[in-house]
Structure 1
Amino acid sequence: MILVAGYTRRWISDDGLIYVRAVEQILAGNGPVYNAGERAETSTGTLWQWLLVVVGFIVPDNLAEAAVYLGLAMTAAAVALAVTGAQRLHGGVTVPAGVVVVLALSPMWDFATSGLETGLAFAWITGGWWLLLRSRDNDQANLYGLAFVLGLGPLVRPDLALVSIVFLVALWLVHRPGRRDTIRLLAVAGAVPVAYQVFRMGYYGILVPLPAISKEASESHWLRGLGYFFDLFLTYGVLIPAGIVLWAGLRRRVGRVDRVLTLAPVVAGALSMTYVTKVGGDFMHGRMLLPGLLLIMLPFFCLPRPENREVLKWSSLALGAWAVLAAVMLRPLYSPGLGPFGVADERGFYVRKNGVANPISKQDYVNPQREKHGWVMSAKRELVFAIDKPRSEPLSPNREERVALVWPVLGSAGAITTLEQPAVDPLGLAYPLAAHLELTNRGGRVGHEKQLPRVWITADYGAPTEENAAARRALACGDLAELQESVRAPLTWERFVDNFLGAFDRTSLRVPADPVAAEQRFCG
């Protein structure tokens, strides 16, 4: 079912194209960056990025499409692992339950592909739980291999560190290893994430992927997060069927080990949803809540068949009727436009914008933009702004590029420009200067609140003018100059060490939007 639904709705999102460009830079020998010569980590899903690198060696010319179909395969594998895991947990004859709740939602069909790390997240969640269940029934289970897999959550996506912690606690509760074995298991679980964190701090000079800074992922915005939560759960009426499945599953009496294996994903899912709500949600309808919903429903994807045939009949009819209604009729009222709190039906928006039923390649995004902004491709030694009314300015004499394109639609901008030409992101997902901008407005669209003023971009990329003089002076002073050096200076061993040691302070660095205020702060 998910293969058919996901294939029918197959697409790559604009954010999926961000991964594609980062992978293309790696394959071209420029390193894990978005723009050559500037070390910025745009990929929040580290493992997904490097998995696509492997795929890129095989199909370098069809990387976007490969990302789409690989995500679909992983989503299907995740559902299969979840179903068989629930059957293993309960034993005997089972009937579908939580799986119906998850698969009836159209966002699940959309993010079965999308080119993002979501499919990998689904597969890691269900695969890790399946391995936990398998270790319950096998005294010779390789606990170190299991700990290694469970520890990968932060590299699948940083917020999945919460799931790693809960699953590792469940591993300990199920097997109760001794103190020395516990220390070894923790060392194995943390080996790769810690090693990568050392690399991140030395290479990029900060503690987290750049989008976490641009989106201020450590802050709280509960009101908007609740809006995002109810945007999914009220649209499809999920709370009722999910609540009934939870009630039916949790009221069963089981032993201590099975209780741990049942509650672990439920607790992890609740923590995941709470975190997403805390930070203000996301701008893509349902996307960030799907892993949490999957986790909560995971132990109850299938439930033991009720002995009472009347209960089985009526519960099946009720769940089936809701699923048909949700799958066929229930959709966001704002689709395919922009809804409350800046949330959008992202797939519907780009299908309409690009005029392609299944946009799965770079060309599906590039061609419509060439028709609309053909001048972008013919610019010579220009800093091209594609914000509001298109405008071009001279590039700085110190820069070697033919053109630098300034456009907040970062995936499309990266698809239009070559790997040697900068795609300048005023939102800060790929531009460290913009990411470290002070956030003064939390009322905008999630992840889009920061907009680096034009004067900073011309000071950094454009020719010197009287207008950008204060910004140019600020860029050359103190911590701001050091921030620029941390991502643009040649990566020597000394630079790596300086980046590593300064990562904590650099992560918290913020730049005033007003160049005069920035000059006063950084230059004295």
Structure 2
Amino acid sequence: MNQARRITFLSGFLSAIAVAIFAFYGGWQRKWMSDDGLIVLRTVRNLLAGNGPVFNAGERVEANTSMLWQYIIYLGARIDGHRLETIAMWAALIFTTLAVFIATIGTATLYRGRPLWLLPFGGIIYLALPPARDFATSGLEWGLSLLWIAVLWFLLATWSTLANKTQGIVPTVTLYTLAFWCGISWLVRPELALYGGLVGLMLLIMHRAKWWKILLVAIPAPLAYQIFRMGYYGLLVPHTAVAKSATGAQWASGWNYIRDFNDPYWLIVALLIAAFAGALMVALSKQTAGGVDKRTPLAIGVILACATLHTLYVVRVGGDFMHGRMLLLPLFTLLLPVSVIGIARNRSAALLGAGIFGAGLIWSATAIIGGHPYQLPEEGEELGIVDERTFWQLATYRDAPTYFAEDFHTARSLRDYPEQLAIAQQRNDAHLVSYLKNPDPIVLSWMPVPRTTQTTGPNADLAQMPLSLTMINLGMTSMNAPLDVRVLDNMGLANPIAARQPRMPDARVGHDKNLPLFWQMADSGVAIDDMPDWVNKKDAQAARKALYTDEFRVLFESYRSPMSWDRFMSNIKFSLTSGRTLQFHEDPEKYADAAVSVEKPQIYWPQEINTAGDRK
């Protein structure tokens, strides 16, 4: 290796180290746990206890978007005895750190053999954004998603620089590793299938003679899990996609989400600086010895196409209710080709490169110093898009961000929750209902509702249901409850009936479905006459009758009836037919004339719930 190449290699490696340190420090400084992150941990608790990959024992509902993330935390918990929140935090932070390191090395690979000083660039811009550092932890799969994208980029860059080496073990291993990595894309997050699909299609075109080998490597892992998902859960997609109607279009909300992310930081300025950095990269590649590898423009073009299409998808579905979250992955991807910037020996080129690098640092400093100030809206105002980390710190009246499940006890909606839950368990009640105890000032509380004594006749199966409760904030309620308590939400992440409600027009993105309380209590072990006064008993009676009709019963059988080979095969059929489009009416009277075709209709099957292995 000559002197020039050593400088390029060493400066690229040091750039990767520098940006990794920034990622680790920035993520550690802002470490926290979100309510949505706690949702993942509830499934992990059930896995550890032996109840399966479910949110509520006895109900096969896939409440997490990322299959791999929950199993990574599960494996970590099997190895390590720390709290699940701590395991999730460390896994996410380590993955984020590795992601920016690998991404930088991948881009530095494109400059291989060129006499340049390399400086960190794209990763610095990304990490300067407060939400990028927030979601370096949070309990969600963003660190894993970044790592998957970074490894994809590294493999793609390596593949492109081996353009003239069609034989040998390294090009062959790179090709098939890249094919496998494309295949597992949607096991990380469903929308990453866009990345895996586009890159995989490119490989099939570029290596037409090896198409069957590429497919043989890429398909088995995702196909195996897809068959499992269809047979076990009775769905083609994660249940979260059903709950959030991920195929719907809300362009206006999506544009508002873009503005919410851009405006506080003038992100468009950073993207323009990055565009100049990209133009400089192209110019340096043409001027330096060796030119540019013939596959490099294709690799860069494909990765930029992935970022662009991903952004359009986020805008189309209406964005998100968390500030910046859903745009972090496409932004990270967009910045990959400029993860480093080259400083040439030529004086004019060196000055230009230094100027672009300095502009990027100045913008990054303003984004870090300016931050993203956030205050809770006034009482009665729409929450809209929130800074989730600050929101939960304010909503729990804490001096520091939430980290453990019990940190959420001080939230207004969890007032009296631990005490009333303990009472309901001790009395073997059927339901724990949240209610407005005082309107001004607002005081929320919880009320146990007794279990029906009916053990024979219609609805007798519901008497065997576990203690149930419903709250919009599914994470903090579920992680502060034992596994033998059935925790649901009115939006549908863990409740298939709610997930198949029609969307409410103009509602908050991600919160645009709502299952009325009378439906929730009808699907529990509460006697109609014992329901609280504010529950419409006539509607509850009609809803309970509707639950036993064929349309509902087929759904209940898919995720509640005991698993067997016949049930597995029936679920596959259900997932390919009515399971794709099934939707319910909010008005139970719509089912007044619906048929109940079985002699002894059943919508709940009692199952043993293991709690001995719980890791709360």
Structure 1 residue aligned with 2:469: 405
Amino acid at match of 1:228: Y
CA shift digits 1:67-119 (9 cap, x unpaired): 01110000000000111111111233222322222111000010000110100
Structure 1 residue aligned with 2:52: 31
How many angstroms does 1:285 deviate by? 0.7
Asked if residue 178 in structure 1 is aligned to residue 251 in structure 2, the reply is no
Q: Which runs of 5+ in 2 are unaligned?
A: 1-21, 287-291, 438-445, 454-461, 529-536, 598-616
Structure 2 residue aligned with 1:511: 584
* Residues in 2 aligned to 1:393 and 1:436: alpha-carbon distance in whole angstroms: 26
CA shift digits 1:287-329 (9 cap, x unpaired): 1110000111101111221542432343333222211111111
* Residues in 1 aligned to 2:465 and 2:551: alpha-carbon distance in whole angstroms: 26
Q: Which runs of 5+ in 1 are unaligned?
A: none
Structure 2 residue aligned with 1:258: 296
The SS at the match of 1:90 is: coil
Structure 2 residue aligned with 1:291: 329
Contact 2:191–2:310 at 8 Å: present in 1 too?
Answer: yes
How many angstroms does 1:4 deviate by? 0.7
Structure 2 residue aligned with 1:455: 518
Asked if residue 435 in structure 1 is aligned to residue 491 in structure 2, the reply is no
* Residues in 1 aligned to 2:399 and 2:554: alpha-carbon distance in whole angstroms: 44
The SS at the match of 1:386 is: strand
Which runs of structure 2 are paired with 1:314-393 in the superposition (5 Å)? Answer: 314-331=355-372, 334-335=374-375, 342-354=384-396, 355=398, 357-366=400-409, 372-373=416-417, 374-379=419-424, 380=427, 381-386=429-434, 388-389=436-437, 390-393=446-449
How many angstroms does 1:485 deviate by? 1.1
How many angstroms does 1:352 deviate by? 2.0
The SS at the match of 2:335 is: helix
* Residues in 1 aligned to 2:63 and 2:467: alpha-carbon distance in whole angstroms: 21
* Residues in 1 aligned to 2:588 and 2:303: alpha-carbon distance in whole angstroms: 48
Structure 2 residue aligned with 1:222: 251
The SS at the match of 2:469 is: strand
CA shift digits 1:175-208 (9 cap, x unpaired): x3233x2122123212111111111111111111
* Residues in 2 aligned to 1:336 and 1:323: alpha-carbon distance in whole angstroms: 26
Q: 1:499 aligns with which of 549, 564, 571?
A: 571
* Residues in 1 aligned to 2:404 and 2:588: alpha-carbon distance in whole angstroms: 39
Distance 1:305 1:171, change over 3 A: farther
CA shift digits 1:196-254 (9 cap, x unpaired): 11111111111111111111101110110111112112221111221231243146154
CA shift digits 1:422-470 (9 cap, x unpaired): 002111101111111122x131111211110111111110424252221
Contact 2:465–2:524 at 8 Å: present in 1 too?
Answer: no
CA shift digits 1:339-383 (9 cap, x unpaired): 988211000011222315142222222465766433233223141
How many angstroms does 1:172 deviate by? 4.3
Asked if residue 474 in structure 1 is aligned to residue 546 in structure 2, the reply is yes
Structure 1 residue aligned with 2:152: 128
Larger radius of gyration: 2
How many angstroms does 1:39 deviate by? 0.7
The SS at the match of 2:482 is: coil
How many angstroms does 1:493 deviate by? 0.8
Bigger mean CA offset, 274-283 vs 58-67: 58-67
Determine what percentage of the aligned residue pairs are the same residue. 34
* Residues in 1 aligned to 2:263 and 2:137: alpha-carbon distance in whole angstroms: 24
The SS at the match of 1:404 is: strand
CA shift digits 1:390-447 (9 cap, x unpaired): 44433345344663221111001111210111002111101111111122x1311112
Bigger mean CA offset, 96-105 vs 163-172: 163-172
Structure 1 residue aligned with 2:14: none
Bigger mean CA offset, 356-365 vs 476-485: 356-365
Contact 1:9–1:110 at 8 Å: present in 2 too?
Answer: yes
* Residues in 2 aligned to 1:394 and 1:158: alpha-carbon distance in whole angstroms: 41
Structure 1 residue aligned with 2:480: 416
Amino acid at match of 2:519: W
Asked if residue 97 in structure 1 is aligned to residue 125 in structure 2, the reply is no
TM-score (ref. length: structure 1)? 0.94
Contact 1:404–1:424 at 8 Å: present in 2 too?
Answer: yes
Aligned length: 519
The SS at the match of 1:511 is: coil
* Residues in 2 aligned to 1:60 and 1:517: alpha-carbon distance in whole angstroms: 51
Structure 2 residue aligned with 1:109: 133
Asked if residue 118 in structure 1 is aligned to residue 181 in structure 2, the reply is no
Amino acid at match of 1:497: M
Distance 1:370 1:219, change over 3 A: closer
Structure 2 residue aligned with 1:238: 267
Distance 1:136 1:40, change over 3 A: same
TM-score (ref. length: structure 2)? 0.80
Contact 2:161–2:295 at 8 Å: present in 1 too?
Answer: no
Distance 1:402 1:152, change over 3 A: closer
Distance 1:402 1:182, change over 3 A: closer
How many angstroms does 1:263 deviate by? 1.5
Contact 2:343–2:354 at 8 Å: present in 1 too?
Answer: no
* Residues in 2 aligned to 1:85 and 1:325: alpha-carbon distance in whole angstroms: 28
* Residues in 2 aligned to 1:349 and 1:455: alpha-carbon distance in whole angstroms: 30
